[in-house]
A and B are shown apart, each in its own frame.
Chain A
Amino acid sequence: MKTLHPFLAVMLLAVPAPGEEPRLYNPYDRPKNGPPLTNVFHKAQPLWLWDKLKQPKHHPSARMPDFKFSDEEAMDALAYLKSIADPSFPKQEWPPWTAKTEDTMNDEELTEMMNLTDMGKAVWGNARCTVCHKANGPGGTIIGGFVDLRVGGIDLQIAQAKLERDWLYSWVKEPKSYFLDTLMPRYRLSDSEARALVEFLLRDEAFRPTTEPKPEAPGRWKALDDPSRISRGKRLIELSRCVVCHDIKGILELLSFPPRPAPPSENTVSWLFYDVRCLSCHSIEGRGGTYAPDLTSEGSRLKASWIHDFLIQPDLIRPLSQQMPKFNLSPEEAKTVADYVQQFRRDPRVPTSVPPGEAEKGRALFQSKGCVACHTTGEGPGGGVGPTLDFVADRLEPGYLFHRLKHPHAVNPFSAEPDYGLSDEEAAALSAYLLGKKK
């Protein structure tokens, strides 16, 4: 597989012949990086849009050029965008209290709201939204580190100054229905989980702008419906060639793209990668993101059973901010992915079996070589520098364990692990010892 330039790449999602390696969707191979603007008025509030047009760099993670629009021009462009918004954009029924502020709710409504936002907070946590998105912490600090530009996470501090409730619901539930090429995974949230998350995002102070917005002149946005403004706005959007990065209804398309293939059929590994957008963060053979481990040869390293369990319940193997989100995969789906990794993601240098060795000799070597200084094995004291090996046999493929003991730096050139120059016999003995470390 070659690395394709995102712009040139065709999304190769054709169904592979049996036994052939499936083509995996790479969300970076997309024709346009900007979200579609046709329905942007259903997504965001006019003031926020106006600000975005006037000061694109206001927003630290934004990567839109500054078009230097005058106030009038920004209004014209907005007028056109408003005029093309689809009136049949999906709307939800919301309980009447959702339109109220907290101080005008009665006790019952307040309790309902609090319960819902609590549940939303749990969804937010499980989905690890903070890996990509920024928010104000309870004390005004930022949870979850930085917004990584390439992930394109939207700075959620402005959620409440920006987003419309109906849009937010459809976005967290089915991101692709709004922006087909988004990097955001689909979490398979239930209706109530999605509602809870929406309430949390629209109520919690973590998502409130830190500065009070200036009060708006009443009727300011009425001017957007002026037909002459709309036609001026269309011309301006044409001239600014916004269609190079955004889909906009009614504006001449300039770039040519290969026709979009149909999405892969459901319940295949191709479909799961398409749906969950694994390659937004992971990479395989140079394609994909750089935020999570490379999966190119994980099949030689990890046991299929461990991959399966990890996908269902991503464990605490990393600090919170770097944990893999829970995507609510079914056991069958987890198996499909684990099987794919086992079958295709292999490193031919890693042996598939271990020469026989004596576990007792391995135990002695573990002490005498000093491994114990960095690793624990669940037998007596050990160091905390290297990963714990208490249940290493559940996680790692035996062949990989042997290979890694023999060539620690071939596997990871930056590993702190010393190369002891172990003989085959010694490595086999250590492997035999460690392969007894199971739950």
Chain B
Amino acid sequence: MPLFPLFVPSVLFVLSVLFPGPSQAETLDLGRAIYMQRCFWCHGETGHGDGPSAVGMFPRPRDFVAADYKIRSTPHGHLPTDEDLLRVISRGIPGTPMPAWVKILSQEEHHALVAYLKSLSPRFAAEKPQPLPVPDGPANPEAGKEVYRKARCFLCHGEAGRGDGELTATLNFEWGIPHSARDFTRGWTFKGGHEPHDIYLRITGGLNGTPMGPYADILTDQERWDLAHYVASLDLEPSATTEDFLVTAALIEGNLPETHDGPAWQKARMLTVPLAGQIVQSPPLRWWTPSAGACNVRALHNGHDIAFLVEWDDPTGKPEPLPDSAFLQFPAQEGSKPYFLFGDSDNPVKLWHWQAGNTAEEWTATGSANTEVRPAIFQVYPSYKEGRWRVLFRRSLSGEPSFEAGKFLPVLFSVRDGANGESGNVRATSTWLYVTVERPRSFRPWLLALAYMLGAGVVELWVLAKLKS
């Protein structure tokens, strides 16, 4: 159909003459109406980012009059393009109260909002934001790693990219200024997207109004392209799908490790357990913004004892203002599966509870309000390094609950980041999973086989002897 390409534009042209689009004034009116209904709560009536809900928010809702936008495809200090604004409105900003509007507002409404936001700052009339070119050639993440060091990204983002750099720690803890550098191992928390293309633009143009400055004049295009791929490569690759609910304690011989990096741990399969904020029970409050998004769990046993190694990222190992803590939760009674938040009155739970500063306690609970604390009958070995907690819990296989081969025992993992204000029921938690222990290799089949062979040999000799005689 060679005429088709010509046909479509001409139909569109005729349509646009017959049904003209909304005028600019109408678009602005529509934008303003939606703004006053949806955005004003946070961004304020005049767009200064001082709406009634903005009290105590950090980062503050954007001030549309100052127009210092973070997510741009343009150089540092410049305004965003219309596409940038459309995208950020539609996707929202992860890790902040800024919602994603894609499912709530139509495309037309998105465009009207962009027009309205732009009308709030005189800068848009005066400046013409131009998007930066993004390379599309090959990139070398290994070279990017070297750029990361050379450009001193570690000062804020930490050696391993977990957002625990010394400068960030100083700002947060010495000065109480909560500018936190992004944790690169948690790709889903990136404000402007996690594709190398997005990361390249953030590195090149910086995030206006934050300590994350631009590197356009400091690094070459290729260096930034390599660096973007290196940063993207740091995202935690979940080793298992979320449908995987089974922690298997692998069997080893001899003593269980007391450290977190012994070779024995290679024998255990690592399960990445998603964690979510506790948003069911309040008071004290529903917790939408936990600091940990997942934990890695491995388990080993040696026929006598069982060890769980739980690892999660926490940008702050400091004990202030509240200590970090974590626990494993099991049903207290055989065969029951209690309510996942501290059990219920009929179905108590047992917690192996650890708190930084090395206190280990065993808790029994029948609901969030009813907990009883006893001395621990398990050991803990915690360590904190480069933005990651590793806590090893160890106990005998027998006891309450007891771990047996072939039995599937419910287990739940929960962690709290004190620096994020987490304590009590303000925490990150998994749902119930199951744990089982690998069956010890039994010698009976071998003995039988040996006896059989010996028996067969004896019979054979007897037959041979008979034949000879």
What separation, in Å, do the CA atoms of A5 and B177 have in the docked complex?
A: 8
Ranked nearest first, the 6 interchain pairs of A and B with the lowest CB-CB distance are A65-B170, A256-B209, A65-B166, A63-B174, A244-B211, A254-B213
- Residues of chain B with a CB closer than 8 A to A245's CB: 175
| Interface mask (A1-33 → B, CB under 8 Å = 1, otherwise 0) | 010011110000000000000000000000001
Interface footprint category on B: 20 to 34
Of the listed stretches B134-142, B151-159, B417-425, name the one at the interface; the rest are far from the partner chain.
Answer: B151-159
CB <8 Å contact, A256 and B68: yes
CB <8 Å contact, B177 and A7: yes
Of the listed stretches A108-116, A233-241, A326-334, name the one at the interface; the rest are far from the partner chain.
Answer: A233-241
What separation, in Å, do the CA atoms of A245 and B68 have in the docked complex?
A: 19
What separation, in Å, do the CA atoms of A235 and B218 have in the docked complex?
A: 8
- Residues of chain A with a CB closer than 8 A to B337's CB: none
- Which parts of B156-172 form the interface with A (CB within 8 Å)? 156, 166-167, 169-171
What separation, in Å, do the CA atoms of A238 and B155 have in the docked complex?
A: 12
CB <8 Å contact, B175 and A63: yes
Q: Which residue of A lies closest to B171 (CB)?
A: A244
CB <8 Å contact, A239 and B210: no
- Residues of chain B with a CB closer than 8 A to A255's CB: 209-211
Q: Is A262's beta carbon under 8 Å from chain B? A: no
CB <8 Å contact, B169 and A65: yes
- Residues of chain B with a CB closer than 8 A to A63's CB: 170, 174-175
Q: Is B206's beta carbon under 8 Å from chain A? A: yes
What separation, in Å, do the CA atoms of A64 and B213 have in the docked complex?
A: 19
What's the nearest-Cβ distance from chain B to residue A170, in Å? 27
The residue that A252 contacts in the complex, of B60, B156, B176, B213, with Cβ under 8 A, is B213
Q: Is B66's beta carbon under 8 Å from chain A? A: yes
What separation, in Å, do the CA atoms of A282 and B285 have in the docked complex?
A: 33
- Residues of chain A with a CB closer than 8 A to B76's CB: 252
Q: Is B208's beta carbon under 8 Å from chain A? A: yes
What's the nearest-Cβ distance from chain A to residue B395, in Å? 40
CB <8 Å contact, A241 and B211: yes
- Residues of chain A with a CB closer than 8 A to B211's CB: 241, 244, 254-255
CB <8 Å contact, A239 and B218: yes
| Interface mask (A226-237 → B, CB under 8 Å = 1, otherwise 0) | 000000000100
Q: Is B58's beta carbon under 8 Å from chain A? A: yes
CB <8 Å contact, B170 and A241: no
CB <8 Å contact, B170 and A238: no
What separation, in Å, do the CA atoms of A7 and B151 have in the docked complex?
A: 27
| Interface mask (B190-209 → A, CB under 8 Å = 1, otherwise 0) | 00000000000000001011
What separation, in Å, do the CA atoms of A33 and B155 have in the docked complex?
A: 18
- Residues of chain B with a CB closer than 8 A to A65's CB: 155, 166-167, 169-170
What's the nearest-Cβ distance from chain A to residue B210, in Å? 7
Q: Given A64-B170, A241-B213, A252-B213, A33 and B175 touching (CB < 8 A)?
A: yes
27 A-B pairs, CB-CB below 8 angstroms?
A6-B176, A6-B177, A8-B60, A33-B175, A63-B170, A63-B174, A63-B175, A64-B170, A65-B170, A66-B166, A67-B155, A67-B166, A238-B213, A241-B155, A241-B156, A241-B167, A241-B213, A244-B171, A244-B179, A244-B211, A252-B213, A254-B206, A254-B211, A254-B212, A255-B209, A255-B210, A256-B68
Q: Which residue of B lies closest to A239 (CB)?
A: B152
What separation, in Å, do the CA atoms of A222 and B394 have in the docked complex?
A: 62
- Residues of chain A with a CB closer than 8 A to B208's CB: 256
- Residues of chain A with a CB closer than 8 A to B177's CB: 6-7
Q: Which residue of B lies closest to A254 (CB)?
A: B213
- Residues of chain A with a CB closer than 8 A to B169's CB: 65
What's the nearest-Cβ distance from chain B to residue A288, in Å? 15
- Residues of chain B with a CB closer than 8 A to A235's CB: 218
CB <8 Å contact, A8 and B58: yes
What separation, in Å, do the CA atoms of A320 and B188 have in the docked complex?
A: 57
What's the nearest-Cβ distance from chain B to residue A337, in Å? 29
- Which parts of B112-159 form the interface with A (CB within 8 Å)? 151-152, 155-156
- Residues of chain A with a CB closer than 8 A to B174's CB: 63
Please report whether the interface of chain B is mostly helix, strand, loop or mixed according to DSSP: loop
Q: Which residue of B lies closest to A62 (CB)?
A: B174
What separation, in Å, do the CA atoms of A155 and B138 have in the docked complex?
A: 54
B residues at A contact (CB < 8 Å): 55, 58, 60, 66, 68, 76, 151-152, 155-156, 166-167, 169-171, 174-177, 179, 206, 208-214, 218
What separation, in Å, do the CA atoms of A256 and B58 have in the docked complex?
A: 14
- Residues of chain A with a CB closer than 8 A to B66's CB: 256
Can you add 16 more A-B contacts, CB < 8 Å, to A65-B167, A256-B208?
Answer: A6-B175, A6-B176, A8-B58, A8-B60, A33-B175, A63-B170, A65-B155, A65-B169, A238-B213, A239-B152, A244-B167, A252-B76, A252-B214, A254-B209, A255-B211, A256-B66
What separation, in Å, do the CA atoms of A92 and B458 have in the docked complex?
A: 114
CB <8 Å contact, B151 and A239: yes
What's the nearest-Cβ distance from chain B to residue A26, in Å? 14
What separation, in Å, do the CA atoms of A252 and B211 have in the docked complex?
A: 11
- Residues of chain B with a CB closer than 8 A to A67's CB: 155, 166
Q: Which residue of A lies closest to B176 (CB)?
A: A6
Q: Which residue of A lies closest to B175 (CB)?
A: A33
| Interface mask (A21-64 → B, CB under 8 Å = 1, otherwise 0) | 00000000000010000000000000000000000000000011
Q: Which residue of B lies closest to A67 (CB)?
A: B155
What separation, in Å, do the CA atoms of A7 and B172 have in the docked complex?
A: 12
The residue that A254 contacts in the complex, of B166, B167, B171, B210, with Cβ under 8 A, is B210
CB <8 Å contact, B60 and A240: no
What separation, in Å, do the CA atoms of A254 and B218 have in the docked complex?
A: 15
What separation, in Å, do the CA atoms of A244 and B206 have in the docked complex?
A: 14
What's the nearest-Cβ distance from chain B to residue A355, in Å? 42
- Residues of chain B with a CB closer than 8 A to A2's CB: 55
What's the nearest-Cβ distance from chain B to residue A235, in Å? 7
Q: Which residue of A lies closest to B49 (CB)?
A: A8
What's the nearest-Cβ distance from chain A to residue B182, in Å? 15
- Residues of chain B with a CB closer than 8 A to A33's CB: 175
What separation, in Å, do the CA atoms of A6 and B175 have in the docked complex?
A: 9
- Residues of chain A with a CB closer than 8 A to B155's CB: 65, 67, 240-241
What's the nearest-Cβ distance from chain A to residue B241, in Å? 39
What separation, in Å, do the CA atoms of A123 and B96 have in the docked complex?
A: 52
What separation, in Å, do the CA atoms of A64 and B174 have in the docked complex?
A: 9
- Residues of chain B with a CB closer than 8 A to A244's CB: 167, 171, 179, 211
What's the nearest-Cβ distance from chain A to residue B205, in Å? 12
What's the nearest-Cβ distance from chain A to residue B157, in Å? 12
What separation, in Å, do the CA atoms of A254 and B212 have in the docked complex?
A: 8
Q: Which residue of B lies closest to A5 (CB)?
A: B58
Q: Which residue of A lies closest to B48 (CB)?
A: A258
| Interface mask (A245-262 → B, CB under 8 Å = 1, otherwise 0) | 100000010111000000
| Interface mask (A199-241 → B, CB under 8 Å = 1, otherwise 0) | 0000000000000000000000000000000000001001111
- Residues of chain A with a CB closer than 8 A to B151's CB: 239
Q: Which residue of A lies closest to B209 (CB)?
A: A256
What separation, in Å, do the CA atoms of A66 and B169 have in the docked complex?
A: 11
Chain B CB within 10 Å, residue with most, of A65, A67, A235, A241: A65
What's the nearest-Cβ distance from chain B to residue A182, in Å? 15
- Residues of chain B with a CB closer than 8 A to A6's CB: 175-177
What separation, in Å, do the CA atoms of A14 and B396 have in the docked complex?
A: 69
- Residues of chain B with a CB closer than 8 A to A64's CB: 170
Q: Which residue of B lies closest to A3 (CB)?
A: B56
What's the nearest-Cβ distance from chain A to residue B135, in Å? 22
What separation, in Å, do the CA atoms of A238 and B68 have in the docked complex?
A: 20
What separation, in Å, do the CA atoms of A65 and B76 have in the docked complex?
A: 25
- Residues of chain B with a CB closer than 8 A to A7's CB: 177
- Residues of chain B with a CB closer than 8 A to A238's CB: 213, 218
- Residues of chain A with a CB closer than 8 A to B68's CB: 256
What separation, in Å, do the CA atoms of A65 and B164 have in the docked complex?
A: 12
What's the nearest-Cβ distance from chain A to residue B215, in Å? 9
What separation, in Å, do the CA atoms of A137 and B15 have in the docked complex?
A: 90
- Residues of chain A with a CB closer than 8 A to B218's CB: 235, 238-239
- Residues of chain B with a CB closer than 8 A to A252's CB: 76, 213-214
